[in-house]
Structure 1
Amino acid sequence: MKTQNSVPTTKVARASQFVKAGVKVGGNYIKHYSKKLIDPSLSKEELHKDNAADIYDALSELKGSALKMAQMLSMDRGLLPVAYTDKFTMAQYSAPPLSGPLVVKTFKTYFGKSPSELFDKFDINSVNAASIGQVHQAWKNGKKLAVKVQYPGVADAVSSDLKIAKPLAVRLLNLNERDIDRYMGEVETKLLEETDYELELKRSIEISEACAHIPGLVFPAYYPELSSKRILTMDWLDGLHLKDFLKTNPSQDVRDRIGQALWDFYDYQIHTLRQVHADPHPGNFLMRNDGTMGVIDFGCVKVIPEFYYNNYFRLINPDTLEDPVLTEEVFTNLEFLTPADSLKDRQFFTDLFKEMTLMLAEPFAVDTFDFGDDAYFSKVYAFAEGLGKVDEIKNSKVARGSQDGLYVNRTYYGLYAMLNELKARVTTTKPDWLRSKKVVA
């Protein structure tokens, strides 16, 4: 894979990358419609592939929040055509890496020393490159280490990148500008946190220690003396990312054990710690054939406010949706319903969100759930795809849903998607108050 010798850091340089991508996309549309004049039956598949490749190339050169957005979009099946999802998945752990001189420069900036002066041995070629930083192998005092080095300038460019990227997202992905504005503050806050490796170091240690008792999970030790605001050092963990792990043809028992560890990890964080590793994409987990799994990268952590937690999870208890008054209260608290809604809108969106809640809460409604049930996921994806065609949603003058739901929903979406790929059967543990109080005859 080619390395990158520089990262655009000024607003002008970064904006020009977005402009360049926009020009290429425009050219792709012209090419597509020219071909369609000759062949009216031509699908948009080639157009999507060309656009996805051009956009990914531009974003991968920018690194940081631009590439992180591609990574987030790759997890949302149904939101984008498959060509985009497939290409943007590369942002999870295989973006073009920085060249050696840029890595050395980063070390000298934050430690006043080169990596070879800090470690007994340091591999200048990265083994993994994602959206915010890349990982190198190093050794010190007989220990093999993973050293994450942040790309230059990404922290300073978060706010401006989001402003520049918004029009491209609205036009190309057909996203609603009103909805994007509503959640932009939450996204910006989380991206800024992800660029602060001192904060990540603190959270990594705290959550790893709190979850160390969960069977099947393995966490690295972290080294504050070898870490800084833009460099993070931890133990090297062996294991495979999900796609490579599945190629080893693991047994159903191993899939189930890893799936259970994943479920228990998120169950404990959400319901006990009230903060959660909100970046559940395959690049952050290292799976092993003995049924254990390493957990890395606590850069994106969502602290769940008590008011939101109490209302959001009250919907998991099926008794709530059988109580119309309570359902309306909870939907209003979660901003699914608004004071401006007409009676007709109120009924429509109540019915819509009840249907959505019942579907997404199906794993909680039973003691054991088979996430390998593709019929369930086909139903969920079809529902999500259908939402984009509903006139009441397209014409709604308000964005619906609390901004706190953005990363909580993303967390569950990522968790469900990984469990589906694992084809894992999981005991869906949950607090007792989420269970129905009705006696089953």
Structure 2
Amino acid sequence: MKEQTNIPTGKVERASRFVTTGLKVGTNYLKHYTKKLIDPSISREELHADNAEDIYDTLSNLKGSALKVAQMLSMDRGMLPKAYTERFAMSQYSAPPLSGPLVINTFVKTLGKTPSQLYDKFEIQASNAASIGQVHKAWKDGKQLAIKIQYPGVANSVKSDLRIVKPFAIRIVGMNEVDMDKYFEEIETKLLEETDYELELRRSVEVSQQCAHIPNLVFPVYYPEMSSNRIITMDWLHGFHLKEFLELNPSQEVRDKIGQALWDFYQFQVHKLKKVHADPHPGNFLMREDGTVGIFDFGCIKEIPEDFYINYFLLVDKEILKDEARRKEIYTALEMIHPSDTEKEIVFFSALFQKMIDMLTLPFTLETFDFGDESYFAEIYAYMDYVSNLKEVRESKVARGSRHSLYVNRTYFGLYSILSDLKAKVVTGNDRIQDLIKKAL
């Protein structure tokens, strides 16, 4: 893969890249409609593929917040056309890496030493490159290490990048700008946290220790003395990313063990710690043939407010939701319906949300759940597609859903997606969760 010798860090330079991409996208639309005049049977798939390639090429070279938004969108399979999700998924661990001189410069600036002065051996070529940083292999005192290096200018460009990428996101997703504002505020907060590697290091150590009792999970050891505000040094974890792992044709038993470990990991965090590793894309997990899974990258941690937590998980209680008045209270607390809604809107949106909740919370209501049930996910995606195309939804003047739901929902959608690809059968009942909590006391 071709390396980058520089990353545009100035606001004007970064903005100009987006303008150029916008012109390319406009040209793609013109080409599409010209072809369609000649051949009305032409679908929009080619248009989506061309746009996805042009937008991704720009984002992958800009790195940072712009590319991170693409990564987030790639996880929402029911939200984007397939061409976008497939292309944007590359941002999870295969973006173009930085060149060697830029890497060395980061070490000298933040740690005062070159990699060769810090480690016994350091591979100047990156092993993985994603949105916020890239990873290199190193060795010291016989240990193989993973060195995470943040791209230059990432922290300083978060706010300006989000302002620029917002129109792209609105157009791709098809939402009104009013729907995006509070969510972009939440995204900005989390992205600024992700660029704080000192905060990530503290969280990594803390959450790894708190979850160490969960079976079949493996966490790296972290080394603060070889870390800085733009570098994190940790043990190198061996294993396979999800796609590579599935190509090994693992047994159902191994799939189930990994699936259970991931389910336990997330449920324990949510219900006990009230904070959660909110970046569950395949690039953050390494799966092994013995049924264990390595977990790293704690840059994105969502802390869950108590009042949101209580109302969110009341959605699992079917008996409570049968009470119309109580259900309205919960939906209002979660900002799914609003005080300004008419009675007709309350009835309409309550019915929409109730069906979606019934589908999405089904695993929580059973003792075990088969995430390999393709019909279950087909029903969810079909319903999400149906809802997104409803006139009442598209023309809604208010954003529906608390800002806190953005990362919590994203966490569960990401988890469901991985468990679906694993086709894992998982114990999902509440007794399992309570048992994990007791063992941590």
Correspondence for 1:300: 300
Shift of 1:430: 2.6
Q: Provide the rounded CA distance (Å) in 1 between the counterparts of 2:173 and 2:368.
A: 37
Deviates more, 1:222-231 or 1:347-356: 347-356
Q: Provide the rounded CA distance (Å) in 1 between the counterparts of 2:69 and 2:359.
A: 27
Q: Provide the rounded CA distance (Å) in 1 between the counterparts of 2:237 and 2:323.
A: 48
Matches within 5 A, 1:243-392: 243-392=243-392
Shift of 1:433: 11
Q: Provide the rounded CA distance (Å) in 2 between the counterparts of 1:21 and 1:173.
A: 17
Amino acid at match of 1:334: L
Amino acid at match of 1:154: V
Matches within 5 A, 1:26-175: 26-175=26-175
1:432 to 1:344, Cα distance in 2 relative to 1, 3 A: farther
Q: Provide the rounded CA distance (Å) in 2 between the counterparts of 1:433 and 1:123.
A: 42
Correspondence for 2:21: 21
Query: Which ranges in structure 1 are unaligned for 5 or more consecutive residues?
Result: 435-441
Q: Provide the rounded CA distance (Å) in 1 between the counterparts of 2:432 and 2:122.
A: 50
Correspondence for 1:421: 421
Amino acid at match of 1:378: A
State whether residues 269 and 275 of structure 1, in contact with CA within 8 Å, keep that contact through their aligned partners in structure 2. yes
Q: Provide the rounded CA distance (Å) in 1 between the counterparts of 2:43 and 2:394.
A: 24
Shift of 1:292: 0.3
* Residues paired across the two proteins, number: 434
TM-score by length of 1: 0.97
Deviates more, 1:63-72 or 1:348-357: 348-357
Residue 193 of structure 2: SS of its match in structure 1?
Answer: helix
Residue 164 of structure 2: SS of its match in structure 1?
Answer: helix
Q: Provide the rounded CA distance (Å) in 2 between the counterparts of 1:169 and 1:370.
A: 33
Q: Provide the rounded CA distance (Å) in 1 between the counterparts of 2:186 and 2:172.
A: 22
Q: Provide the rounded CA distance (Å) in 1 between the counterparts of 2:430 and 2:198.
A: 32
Shift of 1:33: 1.4
State whether residues 267 and 429 of structure 1, in contact with CA within 8 Å, keep that contact through their aligned partners in structure 2. no
1:7 corresponds to 2:36: no
Q: RMSD between aligned alpha carbons?
A: 1.2
Q: Provide the rounded CA distance (Å) in 1 between the counterparts of 2:137 and 2:433.
A: 45
Shift of 1:89: 0.4
Q: Provide the rounded CA distance (Å) in 1 between the counterparts of 2:185 and 2:3.
A: 33
Amino acid at match of 1:52: A
Residue 155 of structure 2: SS of its match in structure 1?
Answer: coil
Amino acid at match of 1:288: R
Amino acid at match of 1:253: E
Amino acid at match of 1:273: L
Correspondence for 1:204: 204
Q: Provide the rounded CA distance (Å) in 2 between the counterparts of 1:18 and 1:431.
A: 50
Correspondence for 1:216: 216
State whether residues 277 and 298 of structure 1, in contact with CA within 8 Å, keep that contact through their aligned partners in structure 2. yes
Residue 253 of structure 1: SS of its match in structure 2?
Answer: helix
Residue 286 of structure 1: SS of its match in structure 2?
Answer: strand
Shift of 1:431: 6.2
Deviations 1:97-142 (A, max 9, x none): 0000000011111011111111111000000001100000001111
Residue 149 of structure 1: SS of its match in structure 2?
Answer: strand
Q: Provide the rounded CA distance (Å) in 1 between the counterparts of 2:294 and 2:37.
A: 53
Shift of 1:174: 2.0
TM-score by length of 2: 0.97
Deviations 1:31-90 (A, max 9, x none): 111111211111111111111000000000100000000000000002111011110000
State whether residues 267 and 430 of structure 1, in contact with CA within 8 Å, keep that contact through their aligned partners in structure 2. no
Correspondence for 1:439: none
Residue 156 of structure 1: SS of its match in structure 2?
Answer: helix
Shift of 1:328: 1.0
Amino acid at match of 2:189: T
Shift of 1:238: 0.1
Shift of 1:168: 2.1
State whether residues 182 and 403 of structure 1, in contact with CA within 8 Å, keep that contact through their aligned partners in structure 2. yes
Shift of 1:237: 0.4
Deviations 1:240-278 (A, max 9, x none): 000000000000000000000000000100000000000
Q: Provide the rounded CA distance (Å) in 2 between the counterparts of 1:266 and 1:38.
A: 52
Residue 48 of structure 2: SS of its match in structure 1?
Answer: helix
Amino acid at match of 1:279: D
Residue 213 of structure 1: SS of its match in structure 2?
Answer: coil
Shift of 1:150: 0.4
Runs of 4 or more off by more than 4 Å in structure 1?
431-434
Query: Which ranges in structure 2 are unaligned for 5 or more consecutive residues?
Result: 435-441
Correspondence for 2:233: 233
Shift of 1:337: 1.3
Correspondence for 1:177: 177
State whether residues 60 and 67 of structure 2, in contact with CA within 8 Å, keep that contact through their aligned partners in structure 1. yes
Q: Provide the rounded CA distance (Å) in 2 between the counterparts of 1:159 and 1:219.
A: 32
Q: Provide the rounded CA distance (Å) in 2 between the counterparts of 1:179 and 1:334.
A: 15
State whether residues 365 and 429 of structure 2, in contact with CA within 8 Å, keep that contact through their aligned partners in structure 1. no
Q: Provide the rounded CA distance (Å) in 1 between the counterparts of 2:299 and 2:126.
A: 19
State whether residues 93 and 128 of structure 1, in contact with CA within 8 Å, keep that contact through their aligned partners in structure 2. yes
Give the % identical residues: 63
Shift of 1:176: 1.9
Residue 404 of structure 1: SS of its match in structure 2?
Answer: helix
State whether residues 121 and 140 of structure 2, in contact with CA within 8 Å, keep that contact through their aligned partners in structure 1. yes
Correspondence for 1:395: 395
Q: Provide the rounded CA distance (Å) in 2 between the counterparts of 1:13 and 1:111.
A: 28
State whether residues 280 and 415 of structure 2, in contact with CA within 8 Å, keep that contact through their aligned partners in structure 1. yes
Correspondence for 1:437: none
Amino acid at match of 2:211: C
State whether residues 5 and 99 of structure 1, in contact with CA within 8 Å, keep that contact through their aligned partners in structure 2. yes
Shift of 1:93: 0.5
State whether residues 75 and 281 of structure 1, in contact with CA within 8 Å, keep that contact through their aligned partners in structure 2. yes
Shift of 1:181: 0.8
Correspondence for 2:439: none
State whether residues 264 and 433 of structure 2, in contact with CA within 8 Å, keep that contact through their aligned partners in structure 1. no
Shift of 1:365: 1.3
Residue 358 of structure 2: SS of its match in structure 1?
Answer: helix
